[in-house]
Amino acid sequence: MTSGPTHSLRTRIALILTLVVGAYAVLDHAVQRWAVLPRFAELEEREARKDLERVRSALDDEIERLDQRCREWASSSETRRFIENTALAHEPLRAAEVQRFLEANVSARELANAGLDLVYVVDREGRILAGGAYDQTSGAPLSIRSFALDRVAPTHPWLVHERPSSTGDAALPEPVRGLSMTEIGPTFLAARAIPVDEGSSEWLGTVVIGRRLDRELVAAVGERTSVAFDVWDLSDADLPADVAAVVERVTSSSDAVVQARDEHALEAWSTLDDSRRIPTLIVRANLPRDISAFGANALQYSLVSTVAAGTLLVFVLLTVLRRIVLAPLARLTEHAVAIGRTDDVHAKLKLDRSDEIGVLSGEFDRMMEKLEHSRAEVVRTARVAGMSEISTGVLHNVGNALNSVNVAVNVISERVRTSKLQKLERVVEMIESQGDKLGEFITTHPKGKHVAPFLSEVAKLLRHDQEEIATETGKLCAGVEHLRALVASQQELAGKNELREAVRIEDQIDLASTLCDLPRAVAGGLVFDVEGGGLGRVMLDRHKLVQILVNLLKNAREAIVEAKREPGRIRVTVTHEGERVRIAVLDDGCGIAPENLGRIFNHGFTTKTGGHGFGLHASANAAVEMGGRIEVASDGPDRGSRFMLDLPYESAPHV
């Protein structure tokens, strides 16, 4: 019976579309992760370098503002008057002015208001006229060894020195600006010459101002640039391990070094040079990985968007396909399944459509009409074919039985032809010719003396011929009876096809061997053994059993002849196991090739010259009709074969 589809077309289409969308989404996501996401990382590194450069620029701006402040201070007339008043500080008026300058410019409070950590006013001989260093938060003085006394060396690097002009005819004071490492930490410094007069190239001394690069300044610059950063002294022996690990790489690179700290933070490294252009500080900008996070979120959004769009596409396609294709196909499928289940070829689908599915349904209805007409022809043809196969089986089995009948007839004919009847007739003529002298002839005549012994010998020979003819006549009658039973059993196929009777299996083996003319082959040297048995009378279809045994024994004999293994051996074993009886026929003939074992019982299959391939096929069918089966085994060509007939066992009731 035809059943519905295991997986509906809609399910398969949905699965295929889902797989396609899923594969596209995965491939698209992989391509974006491989090709697009690295672009975000590159952009993030460029932005990190820009942020670090912005920090460096902000620090340079700090130096620039410090230098501008120093220029204003140095060019101030108040500063020039302070130097002049300092030289005349023994005068009360001058001393008061000096004191006012100091309080207004170089006190700890004024330095804190100006955002400075140190201010010094030094004349050209190195005398420190005013100044000091103070902590902006606490106001506590800071110690700078080189400025701890009243005088500093005129060659001190913080002081202004003269340098030749570009024309070489005058010496100009050279300002100092930049980063310097001091006892109070890294400090931005600016030093300007104090001119004698505004616009004059002659100068009186130096104004030095400075601002420590402390946490407050780092925080202020970080807030102004929106970049958090840290600085360390490169000469410090106690650098943190993570800083020490990158020092060599950063100092040897002409560009900023960017590396990922983790999936959330990025580090950009560079160095700051001092006023002598020697790398002094290492700077690390701490940057969030916002761009990479944005890129990852964009990829995630793209994946979700692709999956959502694909899901919507699948839904729309399935909806359209269901209405246009799947629903009509489902009706067509249900119609076909219903026809297969009910075998009603008269039912019509009649889909009112003009597209391909409508054409298909119309052709299907027309095909059912043609099928309806052809079924009758098929049934008639099948009946004829079945009758032909039955006839073939009858002829094959009749042929096997006729072999034994022919042998018996030949034996009887030979015995009749070689009979001693002619000699007996001559003796009778000789006796009749003596008339009344018969007694004298028998007793006195030399020929007459041999009449009595001759008649005795002829009687013995005729008795022997009679017995042999009777035996062969019995075989002939058995063969004819088997022929009659075969024809009768085949004629009964329309009704009950089995006639079970109580038989002895050994007797049926003997009958089958006789029908195959095995006794003559045994007389010629063939070894024929029957083992087992002793089962008593068993309920079986005797004629079908004989038919099967005749085919198996005949095939065994022919296999031995084909292998030229004369005289050969055939062994039949009978065993009883539970509710089954097994009859095995073994031979040492030509055997069966492995590739032929599965086809040996097929109708029309044979490896014999002149064979028709029906005997084993008919035997297998007969075994099935008896509720059993036939199995075959062989170790290969020239290694013999084994056929086993397996039948249900039922002991005959005792009568």
For the ranges 389-403, 417-431, 547-561, 603-617, the maximum mean pLDDT occurs at 547-561
Query: pLDDT, tens digit, for every residue of 304-327?
Result: 888 888 888 888 888 888 887 777
The pLDDT of residue 119: 92
Query: Which position has the higher pLDDT, 359 or 275?
Result: 275
Query: Averaged over 187-194, what is the pLDDT?
Result: 93
% residues pLDDT > 70 (the chain): 78
The pLDDT of residue 209: 94
The pLDDT of residue 490: 53
CATH class of the domain comprising 499-655: alpha beta
The label of the residue with tokens 């089962």 reads 535
Query: Which position has the higher pLDDT, 423 or 86?
Result: 86
Report which of 373, 374, 362 is spatially closest to residue 335, judged by C-alpha positions. Answer: 362
**Count of helices and strands (H, E) across the chain:** 18, 18
- Max Cα distance, the chain (Å): 219
Distance CA 476, CA 514 (A): 10
> Is the Cβ–Cβ distance between 525 and 481 less than 8 Å?
no
Query: Which position has the higher pLDDT, 376 or 627?
Result: 627
Q: What angle do CA 650, 654, 655 make, to 5 degrees?
A: 135
Q: Which residues sit opposite 529 in a β-bridge?
A: 571
- Which helix (H) or strand (E) is 475 found in, with range? helix 451-491
Report which of 67, 204, 189 is spatially closest to residue 118, judged by C-alpha positions. Answer: 189
Report which of 290, 286, 136, 105 is spatially closest to residue 211, judged by C-alpha positions. Answer: 136
% residues pLDDT > 90 (the chain): 23
> Is the Cβ–Cβ distance between 642 and 584 less than 8 Å?
yes
The pLDDT of residue 271: 93
Report which of 394, 396, 386 is spatially closest to residue 491, judged by C-alpha positions. Answer: 394
> Is the Cβ–Cβ distance between 592 and 600 less than 8 Å?
yes
Q: What residue spans define the domains of the chain?
A: 75-218, 227-288, 499-655
Q: How many other C-beta atoms can be found within 10 angstroms of the C-beta atom of residue 16?
A: 11
The label of the residue with tokens 């889909």 reads 351
Query: pLDDT, tens digit, for every residue of 39-58?
Result: 888 999 999 999 999 999 99
Quick one: 613 exposed, middle or buried, by C-beta within 10 A (0-12, 13-18, 19+)?
middle
Query: pLDDT, tens digit, for every residue of 507-529?
Result: 888 888 887 778 878 888 888 99
First CA to last CA across the chain, in angstroms?
47
- At 332, the pLDDT band (50, 70, 90 cuts) reads confident
> Is the Cβ–Cβ distance between 355 and 327 less than 8 Å?
no
How many residues are listed for the chain in this entry?
Answer: 655
φ, ψ dihedrals at 400, nearest 5°:
-65, -40
- Which helix (H) or strand (E) is 531 found in, with range? strand 527-532
- Give yes or no for residue 342 having a pLDDT over 80: no
Query: Averaged over 555-569, what is the pLDDT?
Result: 87
Query: Which position has the higher pLDDT, 46 or 388?
Result: 46
Distance CA 565, CA 638 (A): 9
Q: Which two tokens stand for residue 173?
A: 């004071």
For the domain covering 75-218, report its CATH number.
3.30.450.20
> Is the Cβ–Cβ distance between 73 and 192 less than 8 Å?
yes
- Give yes or no for residue 580 having a pLDDT over 60: yes
Sorted by sequence, the CB contacts under 8 Å of residue 156 that are 6+ apart come out as 126, 146
Residue type, 621: N
Least confident of 367-371, 544-548, 645-649: 367-371
Q: Which two tokens stand for residue 38?
A: 């690295």
The label of the residue with tokens 């096997």 reads 400
SS3 260: strand
Query: pLDDT, tens digit, for every residue of 198-226?
Result: 777 788 899 999 999 999 999 999 999 99
- Which helix (H) or strand (E) is 457 found in, with range? helix 451-491
Q: How many other C-beta atoms can be found within 10 angstroms of the C-beta atom of residue 388?
A: 10
Distance CA 310, CA 290 (A): 29
Residue type, 517: D
